[in-house]
Structure 1
Amino acid sequence: MIIRIGYAPAAAPPDPDALAALATGLEREGFDSLWVTEKVTGPAGDPNVVLAHVAALTSRIKLGHAVMTLPGRQPALVAAELATLDRLARGRLLPAFGLGQRDPAEQQAFGVRREDRVAIFEEALPLLRRFWAGEEVVHRGERFRYDGLRVRPTPVRGGFDVWMGGASDAELRRAGRLSDGWLAAFTTPAEGERGRRTVERAAVGAGREIEDEHFGAVVPYRRGPLPERARAHLERARRVRGPAAVDEVIPELDALEAHLKRFVEAGLSKFVLAPIVPPGDWDAELADVRDAVLHLQTRR
């Protein structure tokens, strides 16, 4: 199994100096990738703008969404935007999509009713694949209509392996039917294994196969007690799965290696580490994380 370890910055206002230190540090230390979460009502900024900035600062690390909201966006414009970013990044983009956060403010920002999100997503994602393949798209759907539209540019490799997030059974089954990989978040290793098996069963039922190494997790970690603000965020993130012990979801840094090994035993092999609290010194933080877990990575 090929294990890859990436990183996601803690939610904080965009800071060019901090972002440069993080991005260049990840590349220097041998991490696999940098991932950016999307929350319009949060402080971190637009993920594609952030990833474009990182692409200009780096040459090796891959660049991912963890995850990008699809309902509320026009598929043709998303296809062109992400293909452009992939071209500028020389083929390093890793798109991952979701329905959007379970937050009324986020749904308001995207102009999508909660009950409409699934239908929009399931119509939009296949259209993205067709646009990225360079197809002249003819489509008459409930929400999108195209009459021989071809979008340029296309991605460097003529398409993407598209990953999806999600925690509910319906979201996991959808990932099996539509995605090329599943990225869990705020989950325990045992839940990660159950989720992987659900995704795999759904893929088989749809006549598809997801590669064994296309299962991963965003893994938050902490130093010391969990701050109260982070505890409230954990409770919101766990609404679908219910309460869990903090150590099972957000381990301390010195327990992170054992935690990742449990995920590997559960069949997950792609990890996005995320500090709960933004560090004051990215060079020191990445050196500590490198020493703690990067030896688990099988390709550097």
Structure 2
Amino acid sequence: MTRCGVLLPTFDPLGTGEPPPVVAAARRAEALGFDGVWAGDHLACPAPGLDAPSCLAAAAAVTARVTLGLSVMLLALRPPAWAAKQLQTIEALAGGRLRVGVGLGGEFPQEFAAAGVPVHERGRRVDETLEVLADLLGGRPVRRAGGALGDLDVPALRPAVAAMPPIYVGGRGEAALRRAARFGDAWLPMWLTADEVARRAERLAALAQEHGRPRPRLALLVGVRVDDDVAAARDAAAAHLRGLYGLDLEAVERWTALGGVAQVAEHLAAYVEAGVGELILMPLGAAPLAQYERLAEVRVHLGLGRPTVSADQEGARA
């Protein structure tokens, strides 16, 4: 069955000045039956935002069932040893529930400058980190010379993970497909049509075969706003995208699910039919926990879950 998760509200794209309700969102997502919660990762972008690994650690502490994923961790911004320590920590708190999404970033060069990382080296840094990540997470020393990462001399890091968490490789282009074929357990693009996902999945399968690996699973990150008033849904999504990415809705609207429950479910169903085995839904606009309630309805409409008790119904029963 297709898995369905939600992005945690770790950013403040609307400039409310309020702390993002990460802990409450993690609890509510689990109560509503979602399969996973995910955190986006940026050091510096147009919206104020919290540190993604810290948010997943907080979510791990208040949940027991949902998987916890990075969508996606910008590995190039971090020394490999620190990235591994952050991941080991989440895994220790989450007990086998970690999912490691990785990607390049680069749309905000200022965060690479802030980290002291040349933005043009991000692809090499990600690949070189992925080459040693299993050893780092597994508690094995890593020593290698040269490359974009420079000389590495990392002692055994503890606590080692008991099993390597699944790697989700983000990105849409050929380089991302090659990276997913080589390293990924899943491919995690965004902003593609269902037909484009299916076509690129065929290319991914051919590339994976060159490495003697099975084709990675297909996952997809989708921006969503559920509102029976489509104009209101568009306005909410537009404000969110401007605040978070400095992006106009018109540039990505055809890949964004907007409207009532049935409309959003129809949009997502096309991806399920194209072979996507995991949907990661990014609620757009204000009141993300209220959007979780509506997205739970979408999930049921898609046949991916059972009806759940809403927060209002829980309050009425109390």
Q: How high is the TM-score relative to the length of structure 1?
A: 0.86
Any stretches of 5+ residues in structure 2 without a counterpart?
307-318
- Give the equivalent residue in structure 2 for 1:78: 83
Whether the 8 Å contact between 1:235 and 1:243 is mirrored in structure 2 is no
The farther-off stretch of 45-54 and 98-107 is 98-107
Instruction: Indicate yes or no: 2:14 matched with 1:15.
Output: no
Instruction: Indicate yes or no: 2:258 matched with 1:251.
Output: yes
One-letter identity of the residue aligned with 2:273: E
1:278 and 1:232, CA in 2 relative to 1: closer, same or farther beyond 3 A? closer
1:131 and 1:58, CA in 2 relative to 1: closer, same or farther beyond 3 A? same
Give me the CA root mean square deviation.
2.6
Structure 1 residues 1-300: aligned runs within 5 Å: 2-10=1-9, 11-12=11-12, 15=19, 18-41=21-44, 42-142=47-147, 143-147=149-153, 149-155=155-161, 157-211=162-216, 214-222=217-225, 223=227, 224-225=230-231, 226-227=234-235, 228-230=238-240, 232=242, 246-254=253-261, 255-279=263-287, 282=289, 284-294=290-300, 296=302, 298=304
Shift of 1:173: 1.8
1:3 and 1:58, CA in 2 relative to 1: closer, same or farther beyond 3 A? same
Shift of 1:293: 1.9
1:37 and 1:148, CA in 2 relative to 1: closer, same or farther beyond 3 A? closer
1:298 and 1:257, CA in 2 relative to 1: closer, same or farther beyond 3 A? closer
Shift of 1:299: 7.1
Shift of 1:117: 1.1
1:14 and 1:188, CA in 2 relative to 1: closer, same or farther beyond 3 A? farther
Shift of 1:176: 1.3
Q: How high is the TM-score relative to the length of structure 2?
A: 0.81
Q: Deviations over 1:171-219 (max 9, x none)?
A: 22222122221111132212222332232222112222234xx211111
Shift of 1:298: 4.9
Q: Deviations over 1:66-113 (max 9, x none)?
A: 101011311122112211211111121111111124222222233222
1:72 and 1:258, CA in 2 relative to 1: closer, same or farther beyond 3 A? same
Whether the 8 Å contact between 1:14 and 1:45 is mirrored in structure 2 is no
1:299 and 1:132, CA in 2 relative to 1: closer, same or farther beyond 3 A? farther
SS in 2 for 1:192: helix
Sequence identity percentage: 29
Q: Distance in 2 between matches of 1:192 and 1:236?
A: 25
Q: Deviations over 1:132-153 (max 9, x none)?
A: 2332323223234345732211
Whether the 8 Å contact between 2:170 and 2:187 is mirrored in structure 1 is yes
1:108 and 1:90, CA in 2 relative to 1: closer, same or farther beyond 3 A? same
Whether the 8 Å contact between 1:23 and 1:54 is mirrored in structure 2 is yes
1:120 and 1:247, CA in 2 relative to 1: closer, same or farther beyond 3 A? closer
One-letter identity of the residue aligned with 1:261: A
Moved runs in structure 1, 4+ residues, more than 6 A? 233-238
SS in 1 for 2:49: coil
SS in 1 for 2:214: coil
Q: Distance in 1 between matches of 2:126 and 2:300?
A: 35
The farther-off stretch of 97-106 and 22-31 is 97-106
The farther-off stretch of 102-111 and 90-99 is 102-111
Any stretches of 5+ residues in structure 1 without a counterpart?
none
